Structure 1
Amino acid sequence: MPSVMGLLEERERAARQRVEALQADLREAEAVWERFVIAGEVVAEVLAEPRGVKGPPGEVVGERPARVVGAVPGSVVPVWREGLAASVLSPHYQWLMNALAGGSGVDAVAMDCRELAVAVGLEPVP
């Protein structure tokens, strides 16, 4: 008949091995997750850069232009700052901004989602 202490030590050893295996799996999963986070950040940076912009470049920070000149469909919305024009937004966002401004492109009015949907020609659904 095995001793109680021997049984406890055996179970403790098995539990420790399981913890070590799970910790290794966790480290591997965290590395995969980190790669996806970095990939997402890189894609966001690439999409935020203006493409095919002609004319003089804006001010340069490092090797990249700091000023956003124009946007294309799928662009990331830039952080607002003073003097930023609506032209830096993708065409779909410009369409929404124009609808909020009542077509004038100047003063935006408050709208709920249904009113905005109607303004851009969509069906107002709950």
Structure 2
Amino acid sequence: MVGKYKLFVFAVALTLFIIQGCSKKEPDLHEKYDNEIDEVIQEANRVLPTQKKRQEGSILNRKNTRADIYNDGQFVRLTYKNQDGKWEQSAYKRLEDGSYKLEDPRRFAGKNPLYTENSHIGEGKKHSHEYYGS
């Protein structure tokens, strides 16, 4: 009788352990990369107007821009329409100080992002890859 009781207690404890382990939620990737996306869009709006002379009204924001996250936020590629209505991509690399700088977006061709925000933007479209860095 004591053996069955111990087995029952063990089975209940094991079940609770498994349930608790399965219920641990992965961090929401939208929340996890929220700051990175905001920072990169802000950097794009700072850098691209000087390079491309973007017209007013073509400012990038979270609603009109696709953001692909690579390497746990180390790289972010943006997809958006330029002032001519053509699809364009730019990419950014996180520096040691946490800021971002322009990166060649072609390096991500064929690679799957860890997370994508607004995956419908630019999907299946031909993009020009803008890189103004050295």
Structure with more helix by fraction: 1
TM-score, normalization: structure 2? 0.38
TM-score, normalization: structure 1? 0.40
Structure with more strand by fraction: 2
**Structure with larger Rg:** 1
Highest relative contact order (Cα 8 Å, sep 6+), 1 or 2?
2
